[in-house]
């Protein structure tokens, strides 16, 4: 595989105006593709035709009805070049034969349970036929599908169904036409035996849209939540961005086997079933929220991604960062901004900050890649969304939305760049975003350091700010970026102190804009020493260093009105206590945390979901990013000690919260259940029989949030209640793949016993199947959230993961590559683990075949 560079981009020589596809589905599937091609204006008359293609059998290749002579063809594993003289416009006919049943990469056309389906982003279309597989080639698609009527009653593709009928030998067919121009990565096809749930939606301008959800038969009852979420998303996009849906039908198909979360194919979304199916007994409140957000995300792509797509894959964040930002806003509007924001920041810090600090660090708009599938990352998605959020902060919401609308108008029906997006915002706002562009071009997480000085006699208060960004692989020198820091000040009693704006450094009383490497702000006439609250709402994706005292943190925890800032204060208290317990007995920092939590517990809280977040301990994977060098066993032990301390200090209120666990769905109960789950987790650590019994009983609840919460609480405690509850859960849910995934994740994440051996046994469990969701449940949980086992000092955890990566490397490189993330950070590990993991990598690099895994391991060893 070769490295591709952004600077080498060239517009395509040939446009594909029309794509006519005919799928003849039998044991094998034969695809006849007829393309109407035209040479682009700027291309030379002798420009060869570049086609991508792999993994199929080629039966025919003809231009204007004449077979292309071998002598005029140059080909390798992934490409074919036609070098004969070509007219200005011509037709290309390609006939290929596919074997979807043996395609385990889950890219191109493959089988998932009772259906054949496609996944084409980023380059899956060229597993179906020869085609210029690049997003700046936009075409009109017409698709005919013919298959056995019994086995494949449902035949779907993009756009509108224009014809359907019987065919010979018990077969039938359907013809679909998509009136919109689209790149081939948005093509989709489904042939299957599926249940359907339908509804309608009337757009703001009064058009009726048919909504259809296709799921495994028997799962129809689990569709309503996804369907309601879709209607909410459609309404929200009309109300907030003025964007309406544009086809007469919108379809969502749920697949058992799917590498990603979901895929925004025009008019025909394909989803990982876990982001469609939900009922109170099988899905947790968190699953419900995940479905709402992914349904919205894919729907929002219809404008930001489909109507306007990306010129090349370096621009991926153009659609993904913007669309994540839009789905985040949607969820915040629906469910409350504070808890939503806390979840986003937790995710960003755990996944993206780690990526930015590791061997795969890359800018949000990368400069090069070997395998584009490796760049569907937290950086492109989540940091990309943070950049869009900062843009909104700088321009103001109203101007920002106008900028998005302007960008969509200017580029509708075409393939655009991040530069186009920024230019649209410059045009509507009159602002110069020159410095802001560096957020897209520079990898690494900036650090902002702040010192303050208060002069008692002069009544002045001064802030010294500085920023720096650490070197990342291949990019040692970093420039300052514009960092919006939302800020508030409080007195010692938690009353707000209002300090005036000081443009340009402080354009508003609640906003500092740090554009240079250093800056100083002095406030006059400040009567008492302020407690500053920096980075409210996490206004920029940076690490903020400020020497908060414990009193200041407790002050912010109790009195800040910004939910994120309260959470940030308690996170800092928890981290301080964690580090104290890591190196010795509890002392001042632990006391300060416990005191703060006790005061918090005494406060009145309407927002139970926020209270639950404030009480939640940082995850193992988050803590791992804080600890260099990393000793996973020590980390897990210190975290356990912290949990037990909190449990003892708060037993009274925790017991009250643990028992208040309503089963009714309603929004208000979501917070109560979250709180009950957190509280039982703490209390179980005390091993009180009462709480262990309660958890065992609750694990049998008909409400999955309560049931799963109880199992999580029991999961690290070696006791008969855990054994009973786990066994009962397994036998109750053995036949439900999505719920069974939860059981497997619990086993792989448990602190008890020998976690490496247990995880290896899980892979041979009679109920184990190697679906992407199951693999993630077991191996993803193992390496990310069971640090005690994964980082065992004998290296057995690393060897287990590497074996599985190697095995999947051959069948499903995308999933293998995701798992390989667990193997990359050897440099940050405490001895002897660093050398053990490096040795594992050195062996693995000789053995892997896929560019996906190989790119990552080479970068890790470089
Ligand atoms: N389907 C993935 C997403 O929506 C990739 N486009 O983010
Ligand atoms: Zn997306």
Distance CA 553, CA 562 (A): 14
Write out the residue range of the structural domain in which residue 752 sits.
Answer: 734-862
Residues 812-841 pLDDT 10s: 999 999 999 999 999 999 999 999 999 999
Q: H or E element: which one contains 414?
A: strand 414-416
* From 187, 260, 268, 272, mutation site for ligand 1 pocket: most ligand atoms within 8 A of C-beta: 260
Residue 753 burial (CB count, 10 A): 10
Give me the pLDDT at residue 50, please: 98
> Cα(320) to centroid of ligand 2, in Å?
5
Q: Is 327 in the pocket of ligand 1 (CB under 6 A)?
A: no
Q: Residues 550, 576: contact at Cβ < 8 Å? A: yes
- Closest to 4 measured CA to CA, from 79, 82, 55: 79
Distance CA 598, CA 254 (A): 46
- Closest to 676 measured CA to CA, from 648, 703, 716, 637: 703
On whether residue 639 sits in a domain, the answer given is no
Alpha carbon 281 to its chain centroid, in Å, reads: 25
Burial (Cβ within 10 Å: 0-12, 13-18, ≥19) of residue 23: buried
> Cα(260) to centroid of ligand 2, in Å?
10
Question: Above pLDDT 70, what percent of the chain?
Answer: 100
Q: Is 320 in the pocket of ligand 1 (CB under 6 A)?
A: yes
On whether residue 584 sits in a domain, the answer given is no
Q: Is 717 in the pocket of ligand 1 (CB under 6 A)?
A: no
> Cα(296) to centroid of ligand 2, in Å?
10
CA-nearest residue for atom 6, ligand 1, is: 263
Q: Is 569 in the pocket of ligand 1 (CB under 6 A)?
A: no
Helix (H, G, I), strand (E, B) or coil at 312: coil
Catalytic residue among 289, 298, 560, 620: 298
On whether residue 729 sits in a domain, the answer given is no
Q: Is 371 in the pocket of ligand 1 (CB under 6 A)?
A: no
* From 271, 298, 322, 814, mutation site for ligand 1 pocket: most ligand atoms within 8 A of C-beta: 298
Burial (Cβ within 10 Å: 0-12, 13-18, ≥19) of residue 418: buried
Residues 5-58 pLDDT 10s: 999 999 999 999 999 999 999 999 999 999 999 999 999 999 999 999 999 999
Distance CA 590, CA 220 (A): 50
Q: What's the alpha-carbon Rg for the chain, to the nearest Å?
A: 28
Burial (Cβ within 10 Å: 0-12, 13-18, ≥19) of residue 514: buried
On whether residue 330 sits in a domain, the answer given is no
Distance CA 548, CA 451 (A): 10
Q: Which of 193, 223, 249 is the last residue of a domain?
A: 193
Q: Helix 796-811 and helix 833-847: axis angle, to 10°?
A: 20
Number of domains within the chain: 3
Question: Which ligand 1 atom is the nearest neighbour of the CA of 301?
Answer: 4
CA-nearest residue for atom 2, ligand 1, is: 263
Question: Which ligand 1 atom is the nearest neighbour of the CA of 263?
Answer: 1
> Cα(407) to centroid of ligand 2, in Å?
18
Q: Is 295 in the pocket of ligand 1 (CB under 6 A)?
A: no
Distance CA 406, CA 236 (A): 19
Location of structure tokens 């609250």: 533
Question: Above pLDDT 90, what percent of the chain?
Answer: 100
Residues 130-166 pLDDT 10s: 999 999 999 999 999 999 999 999 999 999 999 999 9
On whether residue 522 sits in a domain, the answer given is yes
Which band of pLDDT confidence, cut at 50, 70 and 90, is reported for residue 738?
very high
On whether residue 501 sits in a domain, the answer given is yes
Q: Which ligand is nearest to the CA of 814?
A: 1
Question: Which ligand 1 atom is the nearest neighbour of the CA of 298?
Answer: 4
- Closest to 117 measured CA to CA, from 141, 101, 95: 101
**Mean pLDDT, residues 333-342 taken together:** 98
Which band of pLDDT confidence, cut at 50, 70 and 90, is reported for residue 663?
very high
Q: Is 263 in the pocket of ligand 1 (CB under 6 A)?
A: yes
pTM: 0.99
Question: Which ligand 1 atom is the nearest neighbour of the CA of 294?
Answer: 4
> Cα(666) to centroid of ligand 2, in Å?
29
Residues ≥6 apart with Cβ < 8 Å to 443? 356, 361, 362, 363, 379, 472, 475
Which DSSP state fits 351? I
- Kindly report whether the peptide bond that precedes residue 547 is cis, defined as omega within 30 degrees of 0: no
Q: Is 725 in the pocket of ligand 1 (CB under 6 A)?
A: no
Question: Which ligand 1 atom is the nearest neighbour of the CA of 297?
Answer: 4
Question: Which ligand 1 atom is the nearest neighbour of the CA of 262?
Answer: 1
Q: Which of 165, 193, 221 is the last residue of a domain?
A: 193
We report the CATH number of the domain holding residue 110 as 2.60.40.1730
Q: Which ligand is nearest to the CA of 186?
A: 1
Pairing of strands 208-215, 195-202: antiparallel
> Cα(275) to centroid of ligand 2, in Å?
13
For every residue of 254-305, DSSP letters joined together read EESS-SSSEE--TTEEEEEGGGT---TTTS-HHHHHHHHHHHHHHHHTTTBT
> Cα(608) to centroid of ligand 2, in Å?
31
Q: Which ligand is nearest to the CA of 183?
A: 1
Question: Which ligand 1 atom is the nearest neighbour of the CA of 381?
Answer: 7
121 part of the active site = no
Question: Which ligand 1 atom is the nearest neighbour of the CA of 324?
Answer: 7
> Cα(156) to centroid of ligand 2, in Å?
22
> Cα(363) to centroid of ligand 2, in Å?
18
Q: Which of 553, 571, 596 is the last residue of a domain?
A: 553
Inform me whether the pLDDT recorded for 1 exceeds 90: no
Residue 186 burial (CB count, 10 A): 26
Alpha carbon 647 to its chain centroid, in Å, reads: 32
Q: Is 121 in the pocket of ligand 1 (CB under 6 A)?
A: yes
CA-nearest residue for atom 7, ligand 1, is: 320
Q: Which ligand is nearest to the CA of 121?
A: 1
Q: Is 382 in the pocket of ligand 1 (CB under 6 A)?
A: no
Q: Is 631 in the pocket of ligand 1 (CB under 6 A)?
A: no
* Whole-Å CA distances, 1 to 79, 369, 395, 759: 12, 10, 42, 33
Q: Which ligand is nearest to the CA of 319?
A: 2
On whether residue 226 sits in a domain, the answer given is no
We report the CATH number of the domain holding residue 493 as 2.60.40.1840
- Closest to 823 measured CA to CA, from 772, 858, 776: 858
Residues 698-709 pLDDT 10s: 999 999 999 999
Residues 58-82 pLDDT 10s: 999 999 999 999 999 999 999 999 9
Q: Residues 243, 201: contact at Cβ < 8 Å? A: no
On whether residue 352 sits in a domain, the answer given is no
> Cα(307) to centroid of ligand 2, in Å?
14
Helix (H, G, I), strand (E, B) or coil at 23: strand
CA-nearest residue for atom 1, ligand 1, is: 263
């Amino acid at each position: 595989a070769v490295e591709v560079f952004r600077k080498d981009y060239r517009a395509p020589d040939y446009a594909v105006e029309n794509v006519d596809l005919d799928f003849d589905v039998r044991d094998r599937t034969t695809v006849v593709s007829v393309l109407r091609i035209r040479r682009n204006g700027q291309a030379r008359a002798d420009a060869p035709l570049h086609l991508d293609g792999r993994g199929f059998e080629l039966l025919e290749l003809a231009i204007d009805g004449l077979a292309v002579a071998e002598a005029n063809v140059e080909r390798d594993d992934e490409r074919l070049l036609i070098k004969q003289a070509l007219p200005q416009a011509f037709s290309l006919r390609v006939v290929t034969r596919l074997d979807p049943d043996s395609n385990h990469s889950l890219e191109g056309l493959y089988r998932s349970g009772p259906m054949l389906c496609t996944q084409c982003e980023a380059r899956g279309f060229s597993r179906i036929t020869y085609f210029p597989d690049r997003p700046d080639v936009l075409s009109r698609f017409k698709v005919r599908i013919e298959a056995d009527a019994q086995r494949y009653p449902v035949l779907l593709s993009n756009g509108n169904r224009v014809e359907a009928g019987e065919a010979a030998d018990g077969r039938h067919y359907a013809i679909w036409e998509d009136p919109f121009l689209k790149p081939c990565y948005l093509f989709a096809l489904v042939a299957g035996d599926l249940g359907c749930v339908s509804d309608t939606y009337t757009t703001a301008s009064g058009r009726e849209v048919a909504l259809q959800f296709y799921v495994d038969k028997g799962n129809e009852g689990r569709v309503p939540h996804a369907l309601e979420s879709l209607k909410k998303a459609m309404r929200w996009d009309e109300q907030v961005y003025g964007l309406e849906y544009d086809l007469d039908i919108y379809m969502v198909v749920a697949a058992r086997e799917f590498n990603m979360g979901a895929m925004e194919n025009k008019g025909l979304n394909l989803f990982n079933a876990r982001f469609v199916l939900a009922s109170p007994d099988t899905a947790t409140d968190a699953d419900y929220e995940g479905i709402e957000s992914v349904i919205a995300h894919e729907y929002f792509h219809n404008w930001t991604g489909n109507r306007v797509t990306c010129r090349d894959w370096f621009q991926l964040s153009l659609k993904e960062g913007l669309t994540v930002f839009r789905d985040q806003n949607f969820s915040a509007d629906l469910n409350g901004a504070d808890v939503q924001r806390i979840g986003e920041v937790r995710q960003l810090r755990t996944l993206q900050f780690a990526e930015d600090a590791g061997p795969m660090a890359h800018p949000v708009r990368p400069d090069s890649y070997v395998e584009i599938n490796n760049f569907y990352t937290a950086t492109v998605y989540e940091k990309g969304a943070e950049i869009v959020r900062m843009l909104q902060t700088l321009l103001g919401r109203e101007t920002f939305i106008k900028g998005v609308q302007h960008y969509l108008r200017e580029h509708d029906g075409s393939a655009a760049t991040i530069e186009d997006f920024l230019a649209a915002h410059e045009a509507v706002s009159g602002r110069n975003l020159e410095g802001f562009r560096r957020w897209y071009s520079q990898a690494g997480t900036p650090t902002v350091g702040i010192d303050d000085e208060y002069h008692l006699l002069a009544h002045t208060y001064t802030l010294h700010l500085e920023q720096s960004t650490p070197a990342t692989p291949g990019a040692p020198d970093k420039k300052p970026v514009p960092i919006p820091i939302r800020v508030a000040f409080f007195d010692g009693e938690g009353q707000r102190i209002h300090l005036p704006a000081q443009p340009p450094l402080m354009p508003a009383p609640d906003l500092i804009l740090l554009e240079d490497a250093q800056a100083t702000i002095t406030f006059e006439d400040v009567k008492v020493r302020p407690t500053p609250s920096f980075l409210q709402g996490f206004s920029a994706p940076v690490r903020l260093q400020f020497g908060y005292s414990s009193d200041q943190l407790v002050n912010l925890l109790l009195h800040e009105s910004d939910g994120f800032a309260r959470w940030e204060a308690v996170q800092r208290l928890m981290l301080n206590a964690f580090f104290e317990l890591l190196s010795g007995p509890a002392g001042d920092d632990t006391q300060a945390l416990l005191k703060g939590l006790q005061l918090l517990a005494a406060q009145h809280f309407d927002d139970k979901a926020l209270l639950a977040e404030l009480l939640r301990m940082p995850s193992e994977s988050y803590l791992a990013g804080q600890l260099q060098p990393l000793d996973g066993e020590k980390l897990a032990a210190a975290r356990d000690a912290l949990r037990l301390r909190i449990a003892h200090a708060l037993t009274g209120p925790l017991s009250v919260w643990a028992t208040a666990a309503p089963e009714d769905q309603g929004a208000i109960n979501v917070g109560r259940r979250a709180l009950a789950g957190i509280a039982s987790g703490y209390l179980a650590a005390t091993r009180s029989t009462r709480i262990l019994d309660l958890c065992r009983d609750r694990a049998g609840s008909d409400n999955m949030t309560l049931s799963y919460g109880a199992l999580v609480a029991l999961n690290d405690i070696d006791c008969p209640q855990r054994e009973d509850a786990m066994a009962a859960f397994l036998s109750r849910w053995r036949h439900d793949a999505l719920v069974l995934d939860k059981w497997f994740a619990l086993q792989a994440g448990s602190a008890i016993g020998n976690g490496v051996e247990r995880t290896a046994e899980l892979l041979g469990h009679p109920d184990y199947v190697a679906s992407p969701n199951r693999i993630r449940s077991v191996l993803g949980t193992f390496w990310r959230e069971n640090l005690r086992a994964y980082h065992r000092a004998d290296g057995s955890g690393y060897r287990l993961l590497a074996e599985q990566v190697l095995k999947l490397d051959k069948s499903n490189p995308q999933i293998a590559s995701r798992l390989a993330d667990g193997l990359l950070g050897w440099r940050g590990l405490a001895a002897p683990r660093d050398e053990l993991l490096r040795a594992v990598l050195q062996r693995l690099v000789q053995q892997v075949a896929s560019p996906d895994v190989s790119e990552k391991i080479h970068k890790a060893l470089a």
